[in-house]
Amino acid sequence: MSRYAMVIDTKKCVGCMDCVVACKTENNVPEGYNRDWIVQDVMGKFPDLHMEIRSERCNHCDEPPCVHCCPTGASHVHERGGVVLVEHNKCIGCKACLASCPYDARFIHPDGYADKCTFCIHRVEVGLLPACVSVCPTHCMYFGNLDDPASDVNKLLNSRSHHAVLPEAGTKPHIFYLT
């Protein structure tokens, strides 16, 4: 059994968007669309500020509302690592999945189907890291198996304080941010 997850160290991330560019070239994401993105979250009053920088994308949730609401089964949980994927030829473009995602991680591809991050499963299947992780110049992104206690992601989650985005939405997200 494997459940893939990403752990991102917000202390090291500089928000340079290399992950976004790499995703676009790797996956041929059309101009004007993003499967991943950067969020800068600033709290406080100048000069007493705190900023968290996050590289965000589909959370490949354990309870994926986008899969539940899909009327055709196009959105599905892939057996490999519990990755949430969309089968383009089953998708009717009803957009229920877009509305169901608390992260707004999906969009309609210009060809009509719902599209989103795939955790670069095509790379992972041949032993590579997702493009975003492999390119990150600050080495702030980690990818691995939550079910493997020895994985980097588990080690980091066990040793560092972390949070997910909108856990209160109840979707059990699989991207964790080290703080």
Instruction: Name which of residues 69 to 88 contact other proteins (CB under 8 A).
Output: 69-74
Nearest residue to 106 (alpha-carbon basis) of 138, 64, 162? 64
Instruction: Decide if residue 143 touches other proteins (CB under 8 A).
Output: yes
Task: Find the shortest distance in angstroms from Cβ 82 to other proteins.
Answer: 16
Segments in 15-130 forming alpha helices (H): 18-27, 65-68, 96-100, 121-124
Residues 4-33 that bind other proteins (CB under 8 A): 9, 11-12, 14-18, 20-22, 24-26, 31-33
Q: How far is the CB of 105 from other proteins (least distance, A)?
A: 9
Q: What are phi and psi of 86, to 5 degrees?
A: -125, 125
Q: Among residues 8, 84, 85, 91, which is the contact residue for other proteins, using CB under 8 A?
A: 91
Provide the token pair at 172.
């059990």
Query: By rule CB under 8 A, what count of residues binds other proteins?
Result: 86
In the set 94, 121, 157, 164, which binds other proteins (CB under 8 A)?
94
> Is residue 154 a contact residue for other proteins (CB under 8 A)?
no
Please name which of 80, 31, 74, 37 lies closest in space to residue 60, comparing C-alpha atoms. Answer: 80
Q: Report the C-alpha gap between 55 and 17 in whole angstroms.
A: 8
